[in-house]
Every structure is written in structure tokens, then in C-alpha cells.
Structure 1
Amino acid sequence: MPNATLESGDDPKYALLFGSVVALGLPSNAASLWILVRRHSLQSPCVIFMVNLAISDLMLVATLCTRVYFYATGVWSLGNMACVWITMLFRNNIRSSSIFITFISVDRLLAVVYPLRFRHLRTASNACRAAALVWLFVVAVNVEEGLEFSAFLIKLNESACFDFRERPPRMSAITYFQPALVLTMLAVNVASTALVSLTLRTRSRSQARIKNKVNVMLIFAMNLAMFAVFFLPVSMEVFFGEESWNKFHKSLVCLASVNCCLDPLLYYFSFDGFWKRKEEMDACTTRG
């Protein structure tokens, strides 16, 4: 299929925005992943979920390089299959990140509210199994989704990606999977935040525990902010009309991609023990 230059594709503003995300997200997530694997033993469920979150973000950053090229030149020369894979990886980041962030919230909930009752569930082996199921789950969803999107690209018959002459069709029930997933994960985070907040309020307010409580609640507040700002808006665009979708789609995708830059700051560096070895302080298992 011949290359084509799209008038709407040549957009230096978005090339700069996505380029900034790559410049910030690549080194920060790579450094976070290295620190988590090198300086923390993978025996904590929280660390395992963070490692998978960093991997998800790094995969997203890798795909954003193609968006930078496309919006800088207006030319897409990689073909339809590459467009399908890149689009699916972006959607997988929203889904896998929302699930892993929710797992972190639930792990904190169990550590704070039920420190002994569910201790047997908070194991590295269970966390690895859960992470593997998440990846299998999001990839399985891509099968039908990818086939539908590929058929749309063939029907469209233009060598382009990200900017199309018409909106991709709503793909049966799978179209509403992402908003349903994000809303469900958001509800779990809200419930977890409420339960942890209530539990911390009923505990003794000794001066030695004030900082610990603030750090715990900060993690939950940041989780909710990630959903409200980055995951929810782009997931709800399936309900937009044609005009609204054309107007806001690129901005929402750009906004959603920023989550990969903030994950290391919001979740990794918020722990006092992030820079310390596990023998000194296992930040994920002692927060409760």
C-alpha cells in the first residue's frame, strides 16, 4: 500500500507532546524497573505489581515513538499491521495499568485493614499468578478487537494511522469493555480508599504513626487521581458523537499517555524504602 501524507497528520504540537512523554517516561520507568528488580527482592506482592506496571509503561513509551514520527511528518510507512499492534498496546496500557494500580490498592487495603486475616493471600506466588492472568486477559481481549480494527483499516484503504478520515466503528460488545473495566477498577479503588481511611481514623493517633498514615492515604489519593484524570476520560470517548470524537480524541490519547510518566513518581518514589534494600526496609509490606 503506498505511503500517503495526511494534512491532519502533520501536527508538530502533538509530535512535541508525545516526544516529551517519551523523553520523561522512558528513563524514569527504566530506572524504576531497575531499582525494583535490583534493590528489592521480588518477594513482596506490591513490588511484583509495580514491576508489571513499569513493564506496561515501557511498552507504551516504545509505541509513542511512532506517534512522534507520524505527527512530525504526517507520513505512515509501517503498514496496517503495525498500526493495529500499536493501537492495541496503547489500549493494553490503560487496561493493565488500571488493574495493577487496583491490585496495589487492594494489597494496601489488606495490609492495613486485615493485616493478619489475609496474610496468607499476600504472597509473591499469588501476585505472580495474578499478574500472569492480567496479561493473558488483556491480550485475549485484543484478538477480536484487533481483527475488527484491522478490517476497518483495510476497508478505509489509506496508508495512515492515528488520524483517519472517519471514526473507527463501534466493535460490538467489546467496544464497551474498556469503560466497564475502568469504572469497575475505579469503584474498587474508591471502596478501598474509604475502608483504609476509616480504619486509620479509628487507630490511635500517636505521633509516631502520623507520617505513616499520610503516606498510606497519599497512595490511595494518587490512585484515584490517575483514574479520574488519565484513564476515565479516554475510556469514555466511545460514548462521544462523531464531532466530539474528532475534536477531543487526540487530546485524550495524549493525556492518557502521560500516566506512564507519573507512575514512577506517584507510586515508586512515594515509598520511603524505595531507595533502600529489602533487608533495610520492605516498604510494601510494612506500610500497614
Structure 2
Amino acid sequence: MSGNSTNSCIDALDPSNRFLVSSVVYGLVLAVGLPLNAVSLWILLRSHGLRSPCAVLMVNLAVSDLLLVLSLPLRVYFYATLQWPFGVGTCTAAILLFRVNIRTSCIFITLISVDRLLALVFPLRSRSLRTTACACKCCVAVWILITILCIPEILHLRSKLKKCPNYTPCFEFQVLAKGSPTSAIAQATFILILLVVNIVSTVVVIVALSKRPSTGAAKINNKMNVILIFAVNMLVFIIFFLPFTIILLIKTQDKEGQILRGLICLASVNCCLDPLIYYFSLDSFWQDKGKRQTDVGTYSLSRTMERS
């Protein structure tokens, strides 16, 4: 593999098992993530709508995951054929969809954890804050902020990829190009702050639950669901987001880029785990509107805590 250390332009990619593995992984994520997230989004909109803050956050998380999944056929094609006939603009968009998913998923998962924390620990005092309107405003602000942050990256990627006259490396450009240290530090700080928020939320909720009576199967099941919500959130952060963030900080100009390539594959798998958050966070997830309670996330346990 020949390369240019400045902009990672290469004449061609030599076929290798590592590219085939990437293609298979992205294909599996596509096969699992597309139906899971499409069905989850359909159920969220049909059975829950935008009638609660938690449902609003989860709809936006599902949309973010679908955007990533819809870009995966391009990754499968590239790593299977090592060709890119779709142009610089399409490559830039596909790379940015991955970055947007990582950032928005981190934020929405954290907001879901905070929403569950407020609902369970401060159910009365948080009523004015935990509204559908507030959740919608937060989601709009997140999308606007991430879009603004992506504009310089779009311009940078396009300018660099246009300097590759013979062959567009596309996703391998993302792997081989040396990123800005400032950008890597900023992203790592951002992820770590959100991780700390999730850890604190988890600890506070576990302490609060330990002080509540747990007699009866229904109450025990509700407590388990609450713990599973936070466990899934922590799992997504620690397994899928944290390694990718750490490698950005310590990355050297590795000509093969095997570690980063593998972690990008791993990070894309997060979209297959997010539907578990919907299942454990929303009461009667599979039921119609007329057959469920309108509040979300361990409603009966919240009511018990209010009475205590």
C-alpha cells in the first residue's frame, strides 16, 4: 500500500482479509440494525408518539441510528470491492453520517439517563422540566449544534479528498489520515463528560432504589428494568464509544490503521444495541396507545416513589 502522509492519497488498495472482515461486519450491522431500528421507530411513533420526553429522545436516537445504517451499504461496497465510483460528495456525506451518529447517540443516550434519573429520584420537582416541549427543544438544539460542528469537517474532508486525483480512498481516508489533535482532544473531552454524567446518574439511581421497598414481583421487575436501562447505556458508552475516543487521542500515523479501522467497525455496532434501551425504558413497548399508560419508563415505580 503506497500512501501520502499529508492527505492519505493512495494509488490503490491491495486486497486483504482485513478489508473483507470490515465488509462482513458492516453487512451484519446493516442486516440487524436496519430492521431493528426501523421497527423500533415505527413502534415508538405508532404506540407512543411524541407524548412524553423519553419517547421524544428515543425517536431522535432511532433516527440517528437509521441515518448511520442507511450509509452502511456504501461501506460494504467499498470494502468488498475496494472501489469508489460515487464521487467525493457521497464519500464525505457517508463519513459525516458516522460522526453525526456517534455524537448524537452519546448525547441522546445521556439525556435519556438524565430523564430517567429525574423521573425516579425527583418525580415531583422535575415535572416542569420533564415536558415534551422541553425534550423537543433539546433535540432540535442537539441537531443544530452537531450540524454546525460538522460544517468545518465537511469542508476539510472535501478539500482533502479532491486532492486525490487517481483514486478516492474514501473510508480508508478516515482511517489513514492524521486528524487534528485539537479536534481529537475536544471529542474525547466531550465523550468523557457524557460518560461521567451517565456514571453519576447510575450511582444516584442505584442508591435511591436501594432505599425503596422492593416487596412484590411487580416492584422488583420495575427495579430490574430501571437498572437494565442504565446498564445498557453504560455498556454502549464503555464498549462502543470510549475505545474509539481513546484511540483518537493516542493514535500515531499507523500506515495500516488496523486498530482504528476495527474500532470504527465496533462503534457502528452501537445502533444494534440501542433498541434495548427502548424496550426497557418504555412501559408496554409493544402495546397500542389505548392499552398502555401514557407516561414512560417504570411508571409504576415512579408513582410508588412519589407516595413514599
TM-score bucket (shorter structure) = over 0.9
The 5 Å alignment of 1:186-201 reads 186-201=195-210
Quick one: structure 1 residues 151 and 284, their matched pair in 2 at CA, closer, same or farther if it must change by over 3 Å? Answer: same
Distance (whole Å) between structure 2 residues aligned to residue 53 and residue 123 of structure 1: 18
Cross-structure match for 1:230: 240
Counterpart among 284, 288, 294 of residue 282 in structure 1: 294
1:139 aligns with 2:151: no
User: Aligned-pair RMSD on alpha carbons?
Assistant: 2.1
Distance in 1, matches of 2:127 and 2:255, equals 48
Secondary structure at the residue paired with 1:6? coil
2:260 pairs with 1:249: yes
* Structure 2 unmatched runs, 5+: 1-9, 303-308
Partner deviation per Cα, 1:85-126 (whole Å, 9 max, x = no partner) = 111110010000010001110000000110001111110000
Work out whether residues 54 and 296 of structure 2, in 8 Å CA contact, stay in contact via their aligned partners in 1.
Answer: yes
Maintained 8 Å contact 2:53/2:135: yes
Runs of 5+ consecutive residues of structure 1 not aligned to the other structure: none
| Deviation of 1:39 (Å) | 1.1
Opposite residue 170 of structure 2, the aligned amino acid is C
Structure-1 separation of matches of 2:255 and 2:242 = 16
Q: How many residues align?
A: 285
Alpha-carbon offset, residue 5 of structure 1: 4.7
Given that residues 44 and 123 in structure 1 are in contact (C-alpha distance below 8 angstroms), is that contact kept between their aligned partners in structure 2? yes
Counterpart code for 2:172: D
- Partner-residue secondary structure (3-state), 1:230: helix
CA offset at residue 8 of structure 1?
A: 4.9
Match in the other structure for 2:72 = 64
CA distance in 2, matches of 1:166, 1:221: 30
Moved more, 101-110 or 234-243: 234-243
CA apart distance, 1:143 = 1.0
Q: How far off is 1:210 after superposition?
A: 1.3
Contact 1:9 1:74 in 2 (8 A): no
Distance 1:42 1:166, change over 3 A: closer
Q: Deviations over 1:133-190 (max 9, x none)?
A: 0000111110112222222223344322112498323236333332222111111000
**1:262 maps onto 2:273 in alignment:** yes
> Structure 1 134/8 Cα, relative in aligned 2: closer, same or farther at 3 Å?
farther
The one-letter code of the counterpart of 2:227 is M
The residue identity in structure 2 corresponding to 1:134 is: V
Please give the alpha-carbon distance, in whole angstroms, between the structure 2 residues aligned to 1:166 and 1:217: 36
Q: Which moved more, 1:155-164 or 1:106-115?
A: 155-164
Following the alignment from structure 1 to structure 2, what is the Cα–Cα distance between the partners of residues 185 and 211?
Answer: 28
Please point out which of 149, 166, 170 is paired with 2:179.
Answer: 170
Identity of aligned residues (%): 43
Greater shift, 9-18 or 78-87, is seen at 9-18
Deviation at 1:261, TM superposition (A): 1.0
Does 1:41 pair with 2:53?
Answer: no
What CA distance in whole angstroms lies between the structure 2 residues aligned with 1:172 and 1:204? 50
Is the 2:34–2:66 Cα contact (8 Å) retained in structure 1? yes
Give SS of 1:242's match. Answer: coil
Q: TM-score, normalised by structure 2?
A: 0.86
Q: Distance in 2 between matches of 1:120 and 1:201?
A: 26
Rounded Cα–Cα distance in structure 1 between residues aligned with 2:184 and 2:246: 10
Paired position in structure 1 for 2:90: 82
Query: Which deviates more, 224-233 or 244-253?
Result: 244-253
